[in-house]
Amino acid sequence: MIEISEHPEGCVLSVRVQPGARRNGIQGEAGDALRVAVTAPPEKGKANHALVVVLREALELKNSQIELIGGLAHRQKRLLIRDYSRDELRTKIAELLERVGGER
C-alpha cells in the first residue's frame, strides 16, 4: 500500500520517480510508494520539476497544493499535498491506479 502520512497542511505522499523515461505518467505502485515516470533527465532539478507537474495534473491540483519536501537528489521522494486528508488522497490515487491499470 502506498504510504500517505498526515501533515498539518494536508498529507505527505511517498513517490518513487523514474527519470529519463519514454513518457510521463503514473506507472503504478513500487513497494510503499506511487511509481511515476518522467521524461526529464535527473539533472539540475529537471526530473523533480517534471514529477511535480505530472502529479499536479494527474491529481488535478493547483500549483500551491503540491510541494516536493524530501528526496531532492534521490529516486524516493516525499511530496506535500495540501488541503487533502489522507483518506481523500488515498481515494484519488486508487482511482488513478485503476485508470492506469485499465490502459495497459
CATH of 4-98, one of 3.30.1200.10, 3.40.50.150, 1.10.4000.10, 3.40.47.10: 3.30.1200.10
- How many Cα atoms within 13 Å fall on the side-chain side of residue 27? 19
Q: Output the pLDDT for position 103.
A: 59
In this predicted structure, the answer to whether residue 102 has a pLDDT above a threshold of 60 is no
Nine cell digits for residue 61: 491540483
pLDDT digits (tens, 9 = 90+) for 14-62: 999 999 999 999 999 999 999 999 999 999 999 999 999 999 999 999 9
pTM value is 0.93
Amino acid present at 53: V
In tens, the pLDDT along 49-88 reads 999 999 999 999 999 999 999 999 999 999 999 999 999 9
Q: List the beta strands (DSSP E) in 8-102.
A: 10-18, 25-30, 33-37, 66-70, 76-82
Q: Is 77 exposed, middle or buried (0-12, 13-18, 19+ CB in 10 A)?
A: buried
Domain segments of the chain as ranges:
4-98
